[in-house]
Amino acid sequence: MRLSSAARAVLLALGLLAGSSAALADEGAVTLVIFKAGWVFGGSIGKGVMTFHGQTYGLTAGGLDYGLVFGGSQTTLQGKVRNIRRAQDIAGVYGAAGVGVAFGAGVRGIVLTNQNGAILELAGKQLGLMANVDLSGLAITLKE
């Protein structure tokens, strides 16, 4: 009887350890408004919000583009951030290669990953005159 109690205690402890180390990452809702402009070199700046575990967090975004960049646009993106355990995991640098054209209104979709493993899946509308074939980086910070 004593051995089976000890065995059960060991199995319970192992189960608790495995459960805590395999804690599933969560996801949150994200909205970003990005202004982008450029001529060969470009830049973007924006702001947004993330809702995670019932709390709303302010976000700022900014980045640089290099390649064929011409024009200016405003893009409103909505979607989700996945694979985060805490709100701060959204902060970081996201890199992408992109091709796009917007004359008046266009549709934009993007999937990005940062160094924390956060995955942004966003889609929305782009307004303006913008043509780009470029490499870009977008840094997102969490307002505290």
pLDDT per residue over 27-47, tens digit each? 999 999 999 888 878 888 999
Q: Which residue has the higher pLDDT, 61 or 101?
A: 61
**Token duo for residue 49:** 């919000």
List of domains in the chain: 25-142 (2.40.128)
**Which residues have CB under 8 Å from 33's CB, separation 6+?**
46, 47, 48, 74, 75, 76, 77
Identify the weakest region by mean pLDDT among 2-6, 62-66, 70-74, 78-82.
2-6
Hey, how many other C-beta atoms are within 10 angstroms of the C-beta on 21? 7
| Residue 136 near residue 99 (C-beta atoms within 8 A) | no
135, two tokens: 């490499």
Q: Is the pLDDT of residue 90 over 90?
A: yes
Confidence band of 8 (pLDDT split at 50, 70, 90): low
Q: Are 49 and 59 in contact (CB under 8 A)?
A: yes
- Mean pLDDT confidence for 61-83: 88
What pLDDT score does 49 carry?
98
Q: Which of 86, 90, 73 is nearest to 129 (CA)?
A: 73
- Which residues are CB-contacts of 119 (< 8 A; sequence separation ≥ 6)? 81, 82, 83, 111, 112, 113
